[in-house]
Amino acid sequence: MRIERYGALLATVLLASCQAAQPLTEAQAAARRPAGAHLAALYDASCRSCHTRRDSGAPLSGDHTQWDARWAKGPDTLLQHAVAGYNAMPAGGQCATCTAADYTALIRFMADQRQ
Ligand code: HEC
């Protein structure tokens, strides 16, 4: 009896931690903000307008179901696509003052990757 109970608990914990990423709603994406005033200001004035709206075709900020495959392309490719443009993603992402370091940090934030 006791073992069964622990088994059920373990199964629940494992299920919760192994659960596949779920798509975010637009509201959940819109609620996210990068840490730091500098980055947050850049984000609010550029990336945010598309990357929190599904109909823009942009991957929603923080949505692993949309970002993980992109993140796998590697930071150099993603930086290059942000700077040079990529399909409907406009060159520079409508940020006139973003540096390469800013883009890299913004991409990391939107992809929800810490390291
Ligand atoms: C005018 C709308 C718009 C704005 C503003 C915008 N993006 Fe995008 N972004 C897109 C769209 C649309 C895509 C999806 C392109 C595709 O995969 O076809 C995209 C995709 C991306 C990708 C993934 C590229 C890849 O190789 O998969 C990165 C990285 C990116 N955007 C970074 C940014 C950053 C950083 C900002 C702000 C500085 C920004 N975007 C602002 C529309 C926008």
Output the CATH code of domain 22-110: 1.10.760.10
Q: Which residues line ligand 1 (CB under 6 A)?
A: 46-47, 49-51, 56-59, 70, 73, 78, 81-82, 86-90, 93-95, 98, 103, 106-107
Contact 24, 63 (CB under 8 A): yes
Q: What is the pLDDT of residues 27-61, one digit of tens each?
A: 999 999 999 999 999 999 999 999 999 999 999 99
Q: What is the pLDDT of residues 75-92, one digit of tens each?
A: 999 999 999 999 999 999
Nearest to 29 by CA among 50, 6, 11, 14: 50
φ, ψ (nearest 5 deg) of residue 100: -60, -40
User: What's the pLDDT score for residue 20?
Assistant: 81
